[in-house]
Amino acid sequence: MRRWPRKWRSNCHGCEVILTPRVLVVGDIMTDISARIEGPIAVGSDRRARIIQRHGGAAATQAIWLARAGVAVDFVGRVSAADHAAESEALSREGVTPHLVADFKLATGRLIAIVDPSGERSFLTDRGANDALEAADIPDALIEGADHIALSGYSFLAPAPREAARGVIARAAGRPVSVDPASAEFLREIGAAEFLAWTAGAAMLFPNAEEAAVLAGTDDPAAQGARLGALYPLVVIKRGALGCEAWAGAEHWRVAASGAEAVDTTGAGDAFVAGFLAARLKGEGIEQSLRCAVAAGSTAVRFEGGRPPVDTPGGADR
């Protein structure tokens, strides 16, 4: 990966110029409906809950955290034509440059997040227009202008976005590509071997502990790192309250969690990846980048919803 910021002095005035790293994020953008329930679901009856609708999507959320960390971000995704203006404006307001495609047939993806009293969440997902993303939606100019490309694992679930995502890896021409697998249950559905084959050529993989277990075929943390580390130059495993680990060849790093009390874990993994990438792109080493990632993830669990509020370092108004 390139080390940033780069500096040089201009020939005419001798001024120092600092270039900002630029990341292309490709993937899902959703309408999130979050239901924070007061207790266990009462099957066949009622349970009080706080229900909020927000802009969401793992890839879009990651893009916003990257922008808040001082990275220039282009985001490519697909939404319904009816939502195109509103979703574009919401991303722009967060500091992300949107390149959204308007779909005249499919609705914007929707997700229901059920958040239990501990802050853990379960998702019900309707992918909608996300499953129609295609290679033509991702201009060559965006790939060529990126210092790093981040792909959501959700993009590998359906044929059209899968081919688009695989095409991005092929078109990256030496630019590092990272993949966040995004969903252990979907990985089980499509098969670990298929996902690993589809993401071959990526420079970084960011699974959580459950996703790593599915992809590596083992619950043993060391074996997960060894097996996945043989397939990707850098593997970073998010282990929640147990912190995180990274492998690059024979090198191994471990960083503890912050111990932050979780209000809502939605978006914490997206913030974690953004924190890591922003630090690496600005020239930090692996261990410090992991610490930045943990700090970002810990910030994300302190409030409801995945996108950070306006008064949060690393976030804007929803």
Q: The tokens of 5 are what?
A: 């910021």
Asked if residues 31 and 20 have their Cβ atoms less than 8 Å apart, the reply is no
Hey, what are 130's tokens? 């996300």
How far is it, in rounded angstroms, from Cα 279 to Cα 291?
Answer: 9
- The single residue of 126, 270, 311, 317 carrying the catalytic annotation is 270
Question: DSSP states of 249-294 as a string?
Answer: TTEEEEE----PPPS--TTHHHHHHHHHHHHHHTT--HHHHHHHHH
DSSP 90-126: HHHHTT-EEEEEEESSSPPEEEEEEE-TTS-EEEEEE
The DSSP-derived string for 117-144 is TTS-EEEEEE-GGGGG--GGGS-HHHHH
Our answer to whether residue 270 is catalytic in this structure is yes
Which residues are catalytic, by number?
Answer: 270
